[in-house]
Chains A and B, each alone.
Chain A
Amino acid sequence: MSWILVFEQLLNGVQLGVTLFLMAAGLTLVLGIMNLVNLAHGSLYMVGAYLTLAATQWTGNYFAGVALGLLGALVIGMLVEVITLRALYERDHLDQVLATFGLILFFNELVAILWGRASLYAQLPEWLRGHVELFAGSTYPVYRLSVIIVGLIVAVVLWYVVTRTRLGMLIRAGATNRTMVAALGVNIRLLYTVVFGFGAALAGLAGVMAGPIYSVQPGMGELILIQVFVVIVIGGIGSVRGALVGALIVGVVDTLGRAFLKPALSTMISPTAGEAAGPALASMLIYLLMAVVLALRPAGLFPARG
């Protein structure tokens, strides 16, 4: 087990982490401010991935594909908000979960009808396909590195918007005390729509970037959505900082667990133990981590309230 391998897996973990962060940031804001549980957030991720793939093939231009994927996720997110979610703001969480569950069924099936149930793999343009040498003897795919960079840029921009602008002030205030913000004369409905659109675009971006790395298939949104829930539980609802830290922890723990738990168990206990328990434990690792965090800090690492 060389250090270069560990470093590469660490980068892979960060790359998964920023993808999770893009999803978690939107979801946690929608949850914190609108008090809305939106399971269909994963569907926007899926829509982003599929639209990018289709548009890239159709126009032959990667940037056109990315633009269309982002725009599509934004537009579809806004449509979903106007058509169904507005009727749910005043309802309890149970109703929101159930209605957005219905939306997931619809979107997954729609995608299956349009593009089939089989996994698709997105093609990358030539200049994103190669590897770069990080330091002597270690190369890393350009694309994954760009995902990390884009994700970190988005994180910085988000940090700036949330902590340094008037909009961000309203967002933080909304997450802390919604009723008071509305009472102070802020158009909370408009804030809702803006934040939701924001979240939809971020989910779309996550989908756009995930397409060439993971397989694009119906139901891909829910696989990541549940990991994002783990991120939010660890980070604390309504906190963008919590989402970033939680996402990086989950991304790194999950990736390193999958890469090294099996060999580690094999050398430390026995090869058969590693063979049998390694993969099982690796896939359960982030959920066990969540349980530990909950036991120590029930409101997450960075609770937005209090």
Chain B
Amino acid sequence: MRSRLILWVLAIALLVALPPVMTAIGQTFYIDLVRRIMILAIAAVSLNLILGYGGLVSFGHAAYLGIGAYSVGILAFYGFTNGWLQWAVAIGASALVALAIGAVSIRTSGVYFIMITLAFTQMLYYLGISLEEFGGDDGMRLKAKSQFAGLIDLREPITFYYLALVLMLASVYLVYRIVNSRFGVVLRAAKSNEARTRAIGFPPYPYRLAAFVMAGAMCGLAGALYANHTNYIVPGLMSWQHSGDLMFMVILGGMASTAGPVLGAFAFIFTEEFLKVLLNWVAPIFGKRDWAEYWAILMGPVLVLSVIFFRRGLAGIFYKPDA
């Protein structure tokens, strides 16, 4: 417990120290990169609640990232730039959609659940493409970043960075509190043995659905942040690849562990960036200039190998996840 606390303090100190250090050495690219990772980490943390603790293999979590982002984008499009309103709508809309998708899909289990969550997210992806008014396939520009009247200015990259950091830590803490509450114990019990959980008087369905909605709402917030981060909202946010990326972040970090998804988000994006650098470094040897765009040809096998040989994830290195 003590060593875990030290690790947390060290990691947070590192993240707090990053912007001034990077500004000093003129590498502001990394502030942007880590901010994006932290926003995706919020999404991964929320997915861990249902995937890791609830055992619900949702292959459609990117849907809420998209709904959160589109909520902000569409409100800004119609001139509503108040951040409180935008983010509340992003969270509320994501929760509602999660309620609708969850209500149908949680009735099923196993492969069905995987395929259904994937299919519904694909439906939303096509919906995004067919919204001509909001850019269709090409997506839409965010007219103005969310406004928090004098309180927080998201146009300041470093302010935004610290906001993302705070929200990421808050989401980690929130999920930690949820899974250690009475509610969370039922959720985890239903994962480890559904029949027994039912037998002692807890039908899993409402608990799972509630967790599904909470995870969707949290991911909606991540989507609202993401829209502000990229200033651009595309249907591709809801693509199945994105859902797969989020799942990998949870798995690489370590399922059902408090810090796992955050570690996983960093590991996933850093691996991606590392492969791009590696390819660009190798390319001149073969007389080519730019190979970075082909990073996925290495990422694919890396991911396959990580599933086969690295089952416990990064968090497993530091401590044993709950059995």
Interface residues of A (CB under 8 A from B): 31, 37, 84, 87-88, 91, 93-95, 97-99, 101-110, 112-113, 222, 226, 229-230, 232-233, 237, 276, 279-280, 283-284, 287-288, 290-291, 294-295, 298
Interface size bucket, B side?
A: 35 or more
List residues of chain B with CB within 8 A of the CB of A37. Answer: 111, 114
A102-B127 contact, Cβ under 8 Å, with A113-B294, A232-B115: no
Q: Given known contacts A226-B118, A237-B111, A280-B130, is B247 in contact with A98 (CB within 8 Å)?
A: yes
Counting CB contacts under 8 A, is B116 at the interface? Answer: yes
Are A102 and B301 in contact, CB atoms less than 8 angstroms apart? yes
Tell me the complex Cα distance, A95–B308, Å.
8
Are A87 and B308 within 8 A (Cβ)?
A: yes
Shortest Cβ gap from A261 to chain B (Å)? 11
Q: Which residues of B contact A112 (CB under 8 A)?
A: 294
Within 8 A of A (CB), among B240-267: 240-241, 244, 247-248, 251
> How far does the alpha carbon of A291 sit from the alpha carbon of B115 in the complex, in Å?
12
Bound-state Cα–Cα, A107 to B131, Å: 30
Given contacts A93-B114, A226-B122, A233-B115, contact A279 B296 (CB under 8 A): no
Known: A93-B114, A98-B303, A99-B304. 10 other contacts (CB 8 A): A94-B251, A104-B300, A105-B296, A105-B299, A105-B300, A108-B296, A109-B294, A226-B119, A229-B118, A232-B115
Top 10 A-B pairs, shortest CB-CB distance = A106-B300, A102-B303, A105-B300, A287-B123, A102-B304, A283-B126, A109-B297, A229-B115, A280-B130, A109-B296
Which B residues touch A99, using CB under 8 A? Answer: 303-304, 307-308
Q: Interface on chain B toward A: helix, strand, loop, or mixed SS?
A: helix
- B107 to chain A: which residues have CB within 8 Å? 294, 298
Give the total number of A-B pairs whose CB atoms are below 8 A apart: 118
Chain B residues whose C-beta falls within 8 Å of the C-beta of A113 in the assembled complex = 294, 297
- Distance between B307 CB and nearest chain A CB, rounded to angstroms: 4
List which B120-155 residues lie within 8 A (CB) of chain A: 120, 122-123, 126-127, 129-131, 133
Q: List 7 A-B contacts (CB under 8 A).
A: A93-B110, A97-B57, A98-B244, A101-B248, A106-B297, A109-B294, A110-B297
Docked Cα-Cα span, A106 to B111, in Å, equals 23
